[in-house]
Structure 1
Amino acid sequence: MPHTLQQQRVLAAFSKAYGSAPAVVAQAPGRVNLIGEHTDYNDGYVLPCALDFATLVAAGKRDDDQIHVVAADFADAGDQFGAALPIAHHPQGGWPDYVRGVLSVLRAAGMPACGVNLAIAGNVPLGAGLSSSASLEVALCVALRQLFGLDQLDNQMLARLAQRAENEFVGCKCGIMDQLISACGQAGHALLIDCRSLASTPVPMPAGVAIMIVESKVRRGLVDGEYNLRRQQCEAAALAMGVSKLRDASLPLLEQYSATLDATIARRARHIITDSARAEQAVAALASGNLQRMGELMAASHVSMRDDFAITVPAIDQLVALLQQAIGPQGGARMTGGGFGGCAVALLPAERVAAVREHVLAHYRSPEGEQAVVHVCYPAAGAAILP
C-alpha cells in the first residue's frame, strides 16, 4: 500500500479543489521490470514486479457532464473537459492527455457520460522509467470502475483499457506489461507474464534479496523518442521471417534469414528473441536463489539492449557498470524500462545495499552533473481501493 502521506495529499487536494470528500480513493503501483525488455509488444515474456511507489486517484460524481481534474504533483494544476465522446486532446498534451485517454476508453467501454471530480497524487518518480503513466492510468480505471459500478471489468480488462488509452490516445505504442503488473501485481513476488495469453505466474523473491533502483537522472521521452520506431522494426522483422510476432521466431530461424534481413532489423529481432528467453530462464534462477545466475542473465540483457536494440545511453552504461562492479558475482544490474535514460535495476544481497549505494553515489554523475537517486524497493500488491 502507498504511504499514508500520499493518501493525505490526495484527500487534501480533493477537498481544496471541490470543498468535499471524495466518494472513492484508488491506488495503483509503479513497476520495475527485472528482465525481458520490449518483449511485451512482441507477445514474449517479461518478469516485472509492482513497487511500493503508487499513484492515488480520488474521485466523486458531479451533477453535470464535466470532468474536473487537479494534480497535486504539478502544483495543483488543473484540467477540465466534457465527458461526451469524442474527448479531445489537451492543447499542451502532457499529463492531462493520460487522464483524457482513460476517460475516452472507459466511455467507449460503457461508462456513463456523467461529470466527475478527480484529484491525483503519488510518489512514483516521474520520467524515470518506473511507469508513472501506467500507474496513473490504472488508478484512474480502478477509481472510476468503483464510482460507476463497472463490475464487469476485471483488473486484466482494466489493464487492456489503460494500454489502449496510451496506444491510441497518447500515441505511445507500449505493450501490456506496465498496465498489467500495476493492476495485477502480488506482494513479495515478481510475475512472469506471457504477453500473448496474459497468463501470469507468481515468482517469489528470494529471502534476503534487495531490489535496488537507481535513477540515472537522464530524462526519457518515449512518445517523442524512438520507442515507436523499435516497434516498427520488430514488426518488419516478424513480417520478413513469416511469423505474426517475434514470439514465434527463434535464433535458428533468424539465421536462415540473415542474408536477406537488413542488419539493423536482424539485431532488433535477436534482442527480442534472446531477452524473452532470458525472462523465462530468470524464473529458475530466482526460484533457486541463484543470484550469480541471475546476475549473468541481467548482464547479458544489458549488453543486448546496448548492442542489438540500441536503447541505452553512455550514462546508463556507466551506471550499470558501476553497479555490477560494486555488487560482484552475487547479483547483477541492467537498464530497465523503455530506454534512452531512466533507471537501472539491481538485485543483490540486502547486506550489500549500503556499500553499493555508497559506491554509486561516489562515482556516478549524470551528463548534467547530477548525482544518482537510489531507491531500495519491495514487490508490492497491485491496484486496489483504499479505505
Structure 2
Amino acid sequence: MIQSYAPGRAELLGNHTDYNDGLVLAIAVDRGVTLTGTVRSDDALFIAAPEMGDAYEGSLAALAPEGEKTWANYLLGVVAQFQKRGLAVGGVDLRIESDLPPGAGLSSSAALETSTAFFLAHAFGHDALTLLERAKIGQAAEHQYVGVKCGLLDQIASIFSKAGQTTVIDCRSFEVRNAPLAPGVSFVIANSGVKHALVAGEYNERREACEEAARTLGLKALRDIDPETLEKRAGELSPSALKRARHVVGEIDRVARGTAFLEAGDMAAFGRLMFASHESSIVNFENSCPELDALVAAAKRVEGCHGARLSGGGFGGATINLVAAGREEALIQALEAAVPGTKCLVTKAADGARIL
C-alpha cells in the first residue's frame, strides 16, 4: 500500500505575474489530496473517487483523455506524461481522498496532479525525478488532458512549500526559495461562492494586454521594467495596456518588498501590501467584483487583520486574509456578515507534497 499527499496552495502576493515572467509569493495550505493505492500485475487503471460517488476503469494500452468522467483526466494526464518521458509505469488501483473545499481557489487540480506524480514516481522506481520535473509533469497534464493552459505556480507551491514559511517563486528561472512567517498569525480563506460569467474571455483580454504592453515597450516580459520607468513611458501605451501593466509591474515589486518584510518579521507592513494588491486589482487589472471588494473592506475594519486581497484569478472566488492569532473568529464573523453565503476556513502555511 502506497499513500501520496499534495496540499492545495494560496497566493499571498503576485497576482497574474506568473505568465509575465514575474515573482509570486504563496503558501501550501494544511489541506490537500491523498492518493492511496497498490500496483497491479497488469496494465489496468482503476481510480475510485468515493467523495464524488464515481470511479474510472481503463488501461495503459488505451490511455486517452476521458470525455465523460473528466475528473479522471487530472490523473490520466500525469500517467501520459510519465510515458511520454520514457518513465515506465504499470497498472494501479487508486482511491482519491480530499479535504480541500471545492471552489475555494486553493488549486485542488494541481494538488491532484502533484499527488499522482509523487505516487507514480515512488511506485515505479522514479524517486530520482526532480521536484521541478514533477511540477512540469502536472502542468503538462493539465495543458494536454484537461485543456487549461495553467502556469507552474500551483504545482510548484504544492511541492516546494514548507511549514511556517512562504514560498517565493521566480517564474522566469523557476528558482524557488522560502521566506519565514512570523509566529502568531493565521490565514483565513473566505470563499464568496460567486462565479461571474465571461471569465475565460476576461482572462485572455488581460493576458493579451500584458503581452501588448511588453511588446510596445520592447521588453521580453513585464518582469523587465520597474514601476518608476513604466510611469515615465506611460504615454507609449494604450490606456488599457497601461492599466494592466501597472498592476503586474506593481505586483512584482510588491512581492520583492513583501519578501523583505517577511524576513524582517514585519507582518503589518506585509499586510499593507496585500491591501494595496487588492486595490490594484480593482483599479488597474479590474479582475475583482463587488463581493470580493466587500469582503476586503470588511476585513480592513477588523482589529488584528493585517491584510486581505483576492486570491487567484479573480472575477469571483475567494479572498485570503492575514490575521493575528486569536482574532480568526472575529474576522470570520465580519466576513460572513459582509457577504451572505461566504464560507470561511482557517489555515496555516504547511509542508509540500510527500509520500506518507
- TM-score, structure 1 length as denominator? 0.86
Distance (whole Å) between structure 1 residues aligned to residue 277 and residue 87 of structure 2:
41
Q: In structure 2, how many angstroms separate the alpha carbons of the residues matched to 1:122 and 1:379? A: 18
Report the Cα offset of residue 220 of structure 1. Answer: 7.2
- Distance in structure 2 (CA, Å) of the matches to 1:185 and 1:73: 27
Alignment of 1:176-187 (within 5 A): 176-187=152-163
Equivalent in the alignment of 1:152: 128
How far 1:224 moved relative to its partner? 4.8
Do the aligned residues in 2 keep the contact of 1:26 with 1:56 (CA within 8 Å)?
yes
2:58 counterpart of 1:57: no
1:225 to partner: Cα distance? 5.8
Q: CA deviation at 1:228?
A: 4.2
- Aligned residue number for residue 15 of structure 2: 37
- 8 Å Cα contact 1:312/1:340 also seen in 2: yes
The question of 1:121 aligning with 2:97 is answered yes
* Secondary structure of the corresponding residue to residue 216 of structure 1: strand
Q: What one-letter code is carried by the residue in structure 2 that aligns with 1:290?
A: D
CA contact (8 A) 1:33 1:47 kept: yes
Residue 65 of structure 2 corresponds to 89
Residue 290 of structure 1 deviates from its aligned partner by 2.4
Residue 248 (structure 2) aligns with: 272
Q: Secondary structure at the match of 2:67?
A: coil
- With 257-266 and 39-48 compared, the bigger mean Cα shift is at 257-266
Match of 1:333 in 2: 308
Contact persistence 2:294–2:338 (CA under 8 A):
no
| 1:297 equivalent in alignment to 2:273 | yes
Alignment match of 2:348 (pick from 378, 383, 386): 378
8 Å CA contact 1:41–1:176 kept in 2: the answer is no
Distance 1:227 1:59, change over 3 A: farther
- Give the number of aligned pairs: 356
Question: Deviation of residue 271 (structure 1)?
Answer: 1.0
CA distance in 2, matches of 1:222, 1:80: 34
The equivalent of 2:44 in structure 1 is: 66
Contact 1:216 1:341 in 2 (8 A): yes
Q: Which AA in structure 1 matches 2:325?
A: A
Aligned runs of 1:316-355 on 2, under 5 Å?
316-327=292-303, 331-355=306-330
- Opposite residue 78 of structure 1, the aligned amino acid is A
Q: Deviation at 1:223? A: 8.3
The answer to whether 1:361 aligns with 2:336 is yes
**TM-fit CA distance, 1:143:** 0.4
> Contact 2:89–2:124 (CA<8 Å) still a contact in 1?
no
Cα distance in structure 2, aligned partners of 1:31 and 1:164: 18
- 1:140 is aligned to 116
Q: Is the 8 A contact 1:65 1:114 kept in 2?
A: yes
Map 1:199-348 onto structure 2 (within 5 A): 199-219=175-195, 224=200, 226-255=202-231, 257-327=233-303, 331-348=306-323
Aligned CA-pair RMSD: 2.2
Contact 1:222 1:338 in 2 (8 A): no
The CA deviation at 1:93 is 6.3
Q: CA deviation at 1:35?
A: 0.9
Cα drift, residue 303 of structure 1: 1.2
Q: Secondary structure in 1 aligned to 2:105?
A: coil
Residue 79 (structure 1) aligned to one of 24, 31, 56:
56
Amino acid at match of 1:63: S
- The amino acid across from 2:22 in the alignment is G
Note the C-alpha offset of 1:361: 2.4
What SS does the aligned partner of 1:27 have?
A: strand
Give the counterpart letter for 1:35 in structure 2: L
Q: Which runs of 5+ in 2 are unaligned?
A: none
Any idea what the Cα deviations from partners look like across 1:153-191, whole Å, max 9, x if unmatched?
Answer: 122210111112223332222221110010111011111
Task: State the alpha-carbon separation in 2 of the partners of residues 26 and 101 from structure 1.
Answer: 17
The unaligned stretches of length 5 or more in structure 1 are 1-22
User: Which whole-Å CA distance do the structure 1 matches of 2:116 and 2:198 have between them?
Assistant: 21
Distance 1:25 1:313 in 2: 40
Letter in structure 2 aligned against 1:331: H
Tell me how far apart the structure 1 counterparts of residues 2 and 266 of structure 2 sit (CA, whole Å): 43
More strand by share: 2
Instruction: Report the Cα distance in structure 2 between the residues aligned to 1:219 and 1:57, rounded to whole angstroms.
Output: 29
Distance 1:245 1:318 in 2: 33
CA distance in 2 between counterparts of 1:180 and 1:235 reads 24
Q: Deviations over 1:39-76 (max 9, x none)?
A: 1222211110111101011232223323221112212x
CA gap 1:230/1:70 in 2 versus in 1, 3 angstroms: farther
1:97-120, Cα deviation, whole Å (9 max, x unpaired): 212221221211223252222211
User: 1:234 deviation in Å?
Assistant: 2.4
Query: Does the 8 Å contact 1:98/1:166 carry over to 2?
Result: yes
Partners of 2:267 and 2:90 in 1: how far apart?
52
